[in-house]
């Protein structure tokens, strides 16, 4: 023999049955394996092939043509493996040319795949190069072999007690005697997984989550400690794990009658319940999108849609219609009149985020004598409904242009209305730190009058609260819209100034913003002033009469108001006054009247 190898392993490791083989690879090699400490066991195999082409094909089993293998028995603690040439049958001389090396090794069965390259002497193509620096794997069975065997449970331990051993320290573990040699192993009990040799490491397996444990039809899996149950569904009895499974509690005809009754009940009640639940979810969804949680925490008064329907008698009394909604009169729980603004266009995408919520909180806390206060809101519709204090005398538009005999308005009262309205706009424009506190829809229809004809500006922030700002040019009254906005799409405080200029012209002429068909009040007044130097031809004749000093003073005041209105209507926004400047100039005119 040319070479030999010796291997000795601790007796707790043994070759597993039918899993380990003696392998040899060479052109002409005899491989032998001697086992047991007294070398009382021998086995081996022999390889031969006349040429490289006579060897087995790559991947074929090792049957002696270039490689051979031999199963080895269990319980071999010590092994000696030898390989070399058979002196009785020396290889032909040409074998050394293509197969200069011989190999013999113990390996896991199936881990070595023969290839003819293992026989050749091509540069860097030897067997070790082909296999790599690592060795061929060998599998050994492990067991605790020097600690005796499993101990049977005591008689008083109970029927569920299992065999134990000192190494099985985890709860829910058991001892198993090995069949391969002496000794024992520990394993987790059925229904548990983990390391039985570590304290409390065997943990429950949730069989229901693994979905590989069968439950019969009409049953449902329920996990228990170390096991699982298949509980029968409603209307069934038995055990879903058993062969019979879950059986119906009621006979077939009784079940049919019960199903028919239940189905009939469902057909009657279900559509109503579904519709009711659908509406509730829609209302809840709108409530959340409209910032309901934030507004509730900010102590804002929030009404339900049903409550506002009750206040307004199902929205039966319409008292106004604006650019962004219809207004209905209602009576609240305190028997006080309120005005409920309901959006015209349902289904428009509701405002979301901080802008809408901030605008509601801001308006709710506004307290100005010339601004209609916001009482509360309803967030259960796609576009929120707003609840305002009710102003009894209608709008300035109704007062100036309403049907029937027009009500007489003195110059003094008209100036008071103009000054009060302008102060409201000035207040909103002056709110430091607020984001563009513009009105967005200044017109005579949005200036309400109380019992003493004091002005109350309404609809502040409507473009933010009940519509998308980008829709303003479509939904707003175009007679009041700043032409610059139509060009640039930018709505600013000076846009409110322009719209207020149109209101001033309505006050001094008592003409609508668009009168006598398609005549534009702003355009015609500006043309008249350019042509005549003033707008006296268009003034309301009820303000003055005769040639006395008082009438002359009124005309001069109207000239100043008209000139102020023309400045408000300037195409260049930089030439327009601010609302604060408008208030100051109106007050000076008012002093002249008095």
Output the DSSP codes for 5-67: EEEE--TTEEPPTTTEEEEEESSSEEEEEEESTT--EEEEEEE--SSGGGSPPTT---BSSSE
421 touches 439 (CB < 8 A): no
State yes or no: pLDDT of 353 exceeds 80.
Answer: no
- The per-residue pLDDT for 349 is 53
Q: Grade residue 96 by pLDDT with cuts at 50, 70 and 90.
A: low
Q: Is the pLDDT of residue 413 over 90?
A: yes
pLDDT range class, residue 28, cuts 50, 70, 90: confident
Burial 260-273 (b: 16+ CB within 10 A, else e): eeeeeeeeeeeeee
- H/E stretch holding 355 reads helix 354-364
Q: Rounded distance, CA 522 to CA 514, Å?
A: 9
Determine which of 212-221, 474-483, 531-540 has the lowest per-residue pLDDT on average: 474-483
Alpha carbon 589 to its chain's center: 60
**CATH no. of 210-248:** 2.10.25
- For residue 474, is pLDDT > 50? no
Query: In 3D, which of 368, 493, 370 has the Cα closest to residue 420?
Result: 370
Give the per-residue pLDDT at 307.
Answer: 94
Beta strands in 178-256 (DSSP E): 184-188, 192-193, 203-204, 219-224, 227-232, 236-238, 246-248
- The per-residue pLDDT of the chain, averaged, comes to 83
Which pLDDT score, from 0 to 100, does residue 469 have?
40
Instruction: Provide mean pLDDT across the span 122-150.
Output: 68
Residues 6 or more apart whose Cβ sits within 8 Å of residue 190: 226, 227
Query: Which tokens hold the place of 578?
Result: 């601010």
Residue 42 has pLDDT above 90, yes or no: no
As a residue count, the chain comes to 594
Beta bridge partners of 119: none
User: pLDDT digits over 526-537, tens only?
Assistant: 999 999 989 899
In the structure encoding, which two tokens stand for residue 354, read together?
């901080």
Nearest Cα neighbor of 453 from 410, 499, 508, 406 is 410
Report the catalytic residues: 441
Question: Poorest-confidence range of 21-30, 231-240, 408-417, 484-493?
Answer: 21-30
Task: Work out the number of other CB atoms within 10 angstroms of the CB of residue 422.
Answer: 26
Q: Quick one: 53 exposed, middle or buried, by C-beta within 10 A (0-12, 13-18, 19+)?
A: exposed
Question: CA-based angle 122:127:128, to the nearest 5?
Answer: 115
pLDDT over threshold 90, residue 544? no
Mean pLDDT (whole number) for 450-461 = 88
Q: What are phi and psi of 161, to 5 degrees?
A: -70, 145
38: region left, alpha or beta (phi > 0 left; psi from -120 to 50 alpha): alpha
Judge whether residue 420 has pLDDT over 50.
yes
Banded pLDDT at 475 (limits 50, 70, 90) = very low
Q: How confident is the model at residue 17 (pLDDT cuts 50, 70, 90)?
A: low
464 is in an annotated binding site: no
Question: The dihedral of CA 571, 573, 574, 575: what is its sign?
Answer: positive
* Nearest to 375, CA basis, from 383, 366, 103: 366
The predicted model gives 95-115 an average pLDDT of 79
Residues 6+ apart with CB under 8 A from 477: 323, 441, 443, 445, 513
pLDDT (mean) for 273-282: 89
- Which residue has 């979810």 as its token pair? 281
pLDDT (mean) for 487-502:
91
Residue 85 Cα distances to 5, 22, 51, 122, angstroms: 15, 17, 16, 22
Closest to 337 in 3D by CA, of 311, 316, 313, 315: 311
Instruction: State how far the alpha carbon of 309 is from the alpha carbons of 315, 330, 333, 383, in Å.
Output: 6, 9, 12, 16
- CA 461 → CA 26, 220, 289, 350, 545, distances in Å? 95, 58, 19, 15, 40
pLDDT computed for residue 467 by the predictor: 44
Query: pTM score, two decimals?
Result: 0.54
Which tokens hold the place of 263? Answer: 């189905």
pLDDT confidence bin for 199, thresholds 50/70/90: very high
Contact between 114 and 58 (Cβ < 8 Å): yes
Residues paired with residue 177 on neighbouring β-strands, in sequence order: 184
Q: Is the pLDDT of residue 541 over 90?
A: no
| Rounded-to-integer distance, Cα 403 and Cα 408, Å | 14
Could you say which architecture CATH assigns to the domain 393-594? Orthogonal Bundle (1.10)
Q: Where are the domains of the chain?
A: 3-141, 210-248, 276-390, 393-594
Superfamily of domain 276-390: Phosphorylase Kinase; domain 1 (3.30.200.20)
The answer to whether residue 228 scores a pLDDT higher than 60 is yes
Residue 270 has pLDDT above 70, yes or no: yes
- Cα angle, residue 393 at apex, residues 389 and 398 outer, rounded to 5°: 120
Return the number of other C-beta atoms located less than 10 Å from residue 339's C-beta.
21
Give me the pLDDT at residue 562, please. Answer: 95
What torsion do the CA atoms of 555, 558, 562, 567 make, to the nearest 10 degrees? 110
Residue 412 neighbours by CB under 8 Å, 6+ apart? 590, 593, 594
Of 246-255, 408-417, 506-515, 553-562, give the lowest mean pLDDT range.
246-255
Band of pLDDT at residue 9, cut at 50, 70 and 90: low
Residue 371: which of 299, 414, 426, 329 has the closest Cα? 426
263 CB-near residues (< 8 Å, 6+ apart): none
Phi, psi (rounded to 5 degrees) for 571: -70, -35
- The answer to whether residue 500 scores a pLDDT higher than 80 is yes
């Amino acid at each position: 023999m040319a070479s030999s190898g010796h291997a000795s392993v601790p007796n707790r490791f043994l070759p597993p049955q039918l899993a380990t083989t003696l392998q040899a690879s060479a052109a002409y090699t005899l491989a032998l394996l001697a086992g047991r400490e007294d070398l009382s066991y021998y086995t081996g195999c022999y390889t031969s092939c006349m040429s490289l082409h006579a060897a087995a094909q790559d991947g074929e089993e090792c049957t002696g043509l270039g490689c051979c293998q031999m199963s080895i028995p269990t319980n071999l603690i010590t092994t000696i493996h030898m390989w070399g040439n058979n002196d009785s049958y020396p290889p032909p001389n040409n074998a050394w040319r293509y197969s200069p090396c011989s190999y013999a090794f113990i390996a896991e069965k199936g881990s070595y795949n023969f290839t003819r390259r293992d026989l050749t002497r091509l540069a860097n193509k030897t067997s070790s190069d082909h296999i790599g620096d690592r060795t061929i794997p060998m599998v050994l069975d492990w067991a605790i072999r020097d600690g005796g065997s499993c101990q049977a449970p005591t008689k008083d331990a109970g029927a569920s007690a299992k065999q134990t051993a000192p190494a099985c320290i985890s709860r829910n573990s058991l001892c198993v005697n090995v069949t391969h040699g002496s000794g024992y192993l520990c394993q987790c009990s059925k229904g548990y997984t983990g390391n039985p040799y570590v304290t409390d490491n065997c943990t429950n397996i949730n069989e229901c989550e693994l979905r590989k444990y069968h439950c019969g039809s009409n049953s449902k899996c329920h996990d228990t400690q170390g096991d699982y149950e298949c509980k029968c569904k409603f209307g069934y009895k038995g055990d879903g794990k058993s062969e019979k499974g879950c059986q119906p509690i009621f006979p077939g005809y009784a079940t049919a009658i019960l199903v028919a009754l239940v189905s009939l009940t469902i057909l009657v009640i279900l559509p109503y319940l579904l519709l009711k639940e659908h509406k509730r979810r829609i209302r809840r969804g709108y409530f959340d999108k409209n910032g309901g949680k934030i507004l509730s925490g900010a102590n804002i008064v929030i009404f339900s849609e049903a409550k506002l329907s009750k206040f307004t008698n199902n929205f039966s009394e319409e008292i106004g219609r604006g650019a962004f909604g219809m207004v209905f009169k209602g009576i609240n729980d305190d028997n006080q009149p309120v005005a409920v603004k309901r959006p015209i266009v349902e289904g428009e995408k509701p405002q979301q985020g901080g802008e809408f919520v901030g605008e509601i909180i801001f308006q709710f806390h506004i307290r100005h004598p010339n601004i209609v206060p916001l009482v509360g809101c309803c967030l259960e519709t796609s576009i929120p409904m707003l609840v305002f204090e009710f102003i009894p005398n209608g709008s300035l538009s109704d007062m100036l242009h309403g049907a029937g005999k027009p009500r007489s308005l003195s110059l003094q009262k008209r100036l008071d209305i103009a000054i009060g309205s302008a102060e409201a706009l000035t207040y909103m424009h002056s709110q430091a730190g607020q984001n563009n506190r513009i009105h967005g829809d200044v017109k005579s229809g949005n200036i309400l009058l109380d019992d003493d004809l004091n002005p109350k500006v309404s609809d502040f922030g409507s473009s933010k609260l009940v519509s998308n700002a980008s829709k303003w040019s479509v939904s707003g009254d175009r007679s009041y819209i700043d032409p610059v906005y139509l060009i640039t799409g930018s709505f600013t405080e000076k846009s409110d100034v322009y719209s207020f200029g149109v209101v001033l012209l309505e006050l001094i002429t008592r003409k609508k913003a668009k009168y006598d068909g398609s005549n534009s009040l702003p355009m015609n007044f500006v043309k008249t002033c350019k042509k005549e130097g003033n707008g006296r031809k268009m003034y309301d004749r009820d303000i003055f009469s005769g040639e006395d000093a008082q009438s002359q003073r009124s005309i001069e005041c109207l000239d100043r108001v008209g000139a102020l209105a023309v400045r408000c209507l300037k195409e260049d926004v930089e030439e327009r006054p601010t609302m604060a400047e408008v208030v100051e100039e109106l007050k000076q005119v008012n002093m002249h009247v008095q």
